[in-house]
Chains A and B, each alone.
Chain A
Amino acid sequence: MDITSMTAVELGKRIQAGELSAVEAVKASLAQIDKVETSVHGFVTVDREGALRRAEEVQKKIDNETLTGPLAGVPAAIKDNLCTKDMPTTCSSRILENFKPTFTAEAVKNLEKAGVVVIGKTNMDEFAMGSTTETSYFGVTRNPWNTDHVPGGSSGGSCAAVAAEECAFALGSDTGGSIRQPSSFCGVVGIKPTYGTVSRYGLIAYGSSLDQVGPVARDVTDCAVILEAIASHDPKDSTSMPPGAGGYDFTGALVDDVKGMRIGIPQDYFIEGLDQEVKEHILSAAKVLEEKGAIVEEFDLSLVQYAIPAYYVIASAEASSNLSRFDGVKYGYRTPDYEGLHNMYKKSRSEGFGAEVKRRIMLGSFVLSSGYYDAYYLKALKTKALIKQAFDRAFEKYDVILAPAAPTTAPKLGASLNDPLKMYLGDIYTISVNLAGLPGISIPVGTDSKGLPVGMQIIGSCFDEAKLFRAAYAYEQTRAYERPELVKASKETASEETVSAKAEKAASEMKTNKLSDEAVRTMEGGDR
């Protein structure tokens, strides 16, 4: 039985049926981590002992029928910006290297209530700032489809771990595309729900008005089931929204029927910079839906080119404020040598944050500084209002919008960081969705000539995840899930093969997979 290749729902069913136990499921995940983690490096922390202990507890509850849900006993990984009590939560930053939260994020708590077993924390761009997972203090994560390429970001660790079958599913967070773009690069399914659907309590904030937690899994059904589990109206998060008329029923939307569904494709998304192969894949996926009875039309969304500049003003401004709490006083890194208070602040922060984080804090502090607020911040908020209006108009005509998740497939490691502006342009299809608070899902639609996955994004109207799930599910029925070669190889080879050669390195429980100082320096050098 190939446990780790099962979707979360399949695995959950088998566990409920008594065909295998939660402990076996967790052991299988840990074994797969031993095999592929040295190639992929999707995790910052793997909590072996804790995971096995929790699996035993969960299994007891399954046995006495107090846990009967679809996710009970299923092993999952959590992006390292979601707080987990007593388990390190680093945001892949030096400044939080030894930080152990005293409470668990609401979304993770909801998973634990459903009987999910958290096995570890996944790597990410430092504080979710980046699109490649290369800005992590703990080293890069590699794309399981081709380890010379990035997995995307910022939830690169979550998406790579799911694609590499190190866990049944993972949670990510999405501020400007951080779930959808890496899902696209890694050939998995990831959804950013409508802003306010999942509580942000315990999510370490980057851009508070844009951040949203969401699932990453290997099919649409899993995503719907996981979203049902994590969505909640949380009194601890003032921006958390009560459920719509349909409650949190997302699985009800998993119907293979798009007859009469109105689908819009923004013409203005097909611009310079969009890879020809990606374009063809998206258009042929649209064709598939059309053949299934959907009405597909091209239209002008407008304002496409203004989303990124507006986003960088808003996100950087909020980040500059959100990240000011990291100062060496209450938690996290404090520089060993300092003279006086302000010197302590400056040195702790300068040594604790990486280059990309500092870049955005500087930009955010500048745009908010005296005399510039109106020109930058207010202007960006007005642009955001216009972008929201443009989407509102589109959703008067269409049930969902189809778009690429990213203009290209996964670039090579080190290729993007040299030019931040170019890296930012990679987010052109995802960012406006965050600005407008909309839900968006990325699903695999094939691979390009380099063998790298292409993702299609389906964007829905606010709190209309149902339509988005239906379109994604209907499309998914037309093709089989594709696995990276690395994963296939890991299943065929014996444990002493190359992928597991360095497995003992990861053998200690609760290990923080930190690169050597030298490697970190090299990486930071490459950031310029």
Chain B
Amino acid sequence: MAKQYETVIGLEVHVELATKTKIFCSCSTEFGGAPNTHTCPVCTGMPGSLPVLNKQVVEYAMAIGLATNCEITRVCKFDRKNYFYPDNPQNYQISQLYLPIARNGYVEIQTGEVKKKIRIHEMHMEEDAGKLIHDEWDDTSLVDYNRSGVPLVEIVSEPDMRSADEVIAYLEKLRTIIQYLGASDCKLQEGSMRADVNLSVREAGTTEFGTRTEMKNLNSFKAIARAIEGERARQIELLSEGKKVIQETRRWDDNKESSYAMRSKEDAQDYRYFPEPDLVPVIIGDEWIQKIKKLQPEMRDEKLERYKKEFDIPQYDAEILTASKAMADLFEAASAICRNPKKVSNWLMVETMRLLKEHDMEPEEIIFTPEHLAQLVQLTENGIINSSVAKEVFEKIFTENADPAEYVEKHGLKTVNDEGELLKVLQKVIAGNPQAVVDYKGGKEKALGALVGQTMKAMKGKADPGMVNKKLRELLK
């Protein structure tokens, strides 16, 4: 019988912080921009330049540390990590090894019905590298330092995960926490959240860890899941053939769905860390920690409970509404304007979720304003438009943030509330559909539906279907 293997996974998650400026200089962190426009002597490693720490980086890092139940290091320092690579202008990266800002934390994840704690070993602050663009024409690479010096925190977990599902749950949990804190937008595609996967396998039942590999270049949840499956299979195959797993860094190619070793004689992986002499220690007192704790916004779990209580929203709905900060913010803002949280929730739960899925979008990418959603709710509630018109309007809101009142006005979509006109149309419909009238009177409820439909059609959808129904029943009595 084939041996059973268990997968052991630990994660190194890099998160770009949402500061306005870089970690050690006053250059903008804005994404995009022509190459090297967001650079200065500091973030391009010019001789004679010196780093000065951005205070907001420390505060975001502290907030993330506290929200993930870490101990905050009271005297924390920066170290230099030395390695040569063109995206790293000084050929050393300012990072933290010996005294990282936070240690010994955990987050709780849930997969199916099972809850589990994933421990965080440590979390440190560091600078991001520049970007390399490979020029296929003349076999060279082009270096852009716009991203060089953008602040990162690296969150290093313990090897506590056992499956791709747990890994995704852990990443989603981290992402929710960090987004709620406003410390990062955590977009995997844009690289503002990146995960390296450390994976090993061992025979089920054993307690010793196997040899692990580190997998890099994973830029979507799907790629992470595929890479985990691929690496697990590769290692098991090696072991069952009696071969050994080599401790190495591998690069995942998501198109080929396979990985390759990034080995080279020139990459000795000996980083010669030593304390950064150009920066002074960061000393964090109780007062500062209290201040950061006070600034901490309502986190997801609290929000979820509050929604259930305050708005009488069911558990499942509250979970969806709070799953992303963007959605929760939209919900709260729109509800505050129209004072109808139930309807707002309904629009977000049904139509918004449907359209997100259809457009393959994340809630963070929603473009419409809470004002427009609130207006739509009001228009419907006040009977100015009916629900089918509302759906049409909402699509416009979703895709182009259309102003609903304006849109309804412009396209003449208001429900007609003129009873005289309605009666005229109803009489025409009754006269034109004698068979349906007979059927209804004979007890066939369905026939009424047909008459309502005919009426709505005749009125180009602008009637209130409830009203049409009521009037028809009266006329056919």
Residue numbers in B under 8 Å from A89 (CB-CB): 47-48
In the complex, identify which listed stretch (A96-104, A133-141, A283-291, A395-403) lies at the interface while the others stay far away: A96-104
Cβ-defined contact, A208 with B277, below 8 A? yes
Closest to A105 in B: B48
A-facing mask of B14-53, CB < 8 A → 1, else 0?
0000000000000000000000000001001111111111
Cβ-defined contact, B82 with A237, below 8 A? no
Closest to B280 in A: A238
A368 at the interface (CB under 8 A from B): yes
Interface residue range, chain B: 20 to 34
Interface residue range, chain A: 35 or more
The smallest C-beta distance from A26 to any residue of chain B, in angstroms, reads: 26
B143 at the interface (CB under 8 A from A): yes
Residue numbers in B under 8 Å from A96 (CB-CB): 47
Residue numbers in A under 8 Å from B44 (CB-CB): 330
The smallest C-beta distance from A333 to any residue of chain B, in angstroms, reads: 13
Residue numbers in B under 8 Å from A82 (CB-CB): 48
In the complex, identify which listed stretch (B153-161, B266-274, B397-405) lies at the interface while the others stay far away: B266-274
Given the known interface contacts A238-B51, A238-B52, A324-B84, the answer about A365 and B45 at a Cβ–Cβ threshold of 8 Å is no
**Interface of chain A, main secondary structure:** loop
Number of A-B contacts (CB under 8 A): 99
Cβ-defined contact, A200 with B277, below 8 A? no
Residues of A184-227 contacting chain B, CB below 8 A: 200-205, 207-209
Cβ-defined contact, B51 with A203, below 8 A? no
B360 at the interface (CB under 8 A from A): no
Residue numbers in B under 8 Å from A373 (CB-CB): 272-274
A251 at the interface (CB under 8 A from B): no
Cβ-defined contact, A200 with B91, below 8 A? no
A479 at the interface (CB under 8 A from B): no
The smallest C-beta distance from B436 to any residue of chain A, in angstroms, reads: 81
Given the known interface contacts A239-B280, A318-B277, the answer about A368 and B48 at a Cβ–Cβ threshold of 8 Å is no
A327 at the interface (CB under 8 A from B): yes
Residue numbers in A under 8 Å from B280 (CB-CB): 238-239
Considering the chains assembled together, what is the distance between the CA atoms of A237 and B41 in angstroms? 13
Considering the chains assembled together, what is the distance between the CA atoms of A325 and B279 in angstroms? 18
A505 at the interface (CB under 8 A from B): no
CB < 8 Å neighbour of A102 from B46, B80, B273, B274: B46
Closest to B85 in A: A341
Cβ-defined contact, B270 with A370, below 8 A? yes
A36 at the interface (CB under 8 A from B): no
Cβ-defined contact, B48 with A203, below 8 A? yes
Considering the chains assembled together, what is the distance between the CA atoms of A209 and B278 in angstroms? 7
Given the known interface contacts A238-B280, A321-B82, A325-B91, the answer about A342 and B50 at a Cβ–Cβ threshold of 8 Å is no
Closest to B24 in A: A238
Q: Could you say which of A202, A236, A324 has the most chain B C-beta atoms within 10 Å of its C-beta?
A: A324
A345 at the interface (CB under 8 A from B): yes
A377 at the interface (CB under 8 A from B): yes
CB < 8 Å neighbour of A330 from B52, B89, B266, B273: B89
B92 at the interface (CB under 8 A from A): yes
CB < 8 Å neighbour of B274 from A201, A317, A331: A317
The smallest C-beta distance from A131 to any residue of chain B, in angstroms, reads: 22
Cβ-defined contact, A238 with B46, below 8 A? no
B182 at the interface (CB under 8 A from A): no
Considering the chains assembled together, what is the distance between the CA atoms of A277 and B84 in angstroms? 49
Considering the chains assembled together, what is the distance between the CA atoms of A200 and B48 in angstroms? 8
Cβ-defined contact, B47 with A236, below 8 A? no
Cβ-defined contact, B46 with A201, below 8 A? no
Residue numbers in A under 8 Å from B86 (CB-CB): 327, 329, 341
Cβ-defined contact, A201 with B47, below 8 A? no
Closest to B52 in A: A238
24 contacts between A and B (CB under 8 A): A83-B48, A91-B47, A101-B47, A105-B48, A202-B49, A204-B47, A204-B48, A205-B278, A207-B277, A208-B277, A236-B52, A238-B52, A238-B280, A317-B274, A320-B82, A321-B82, A321-B92, A321-B274, A324-B82, A325-B89, A330-B44, A368-B272, A368-B274, A373-B272
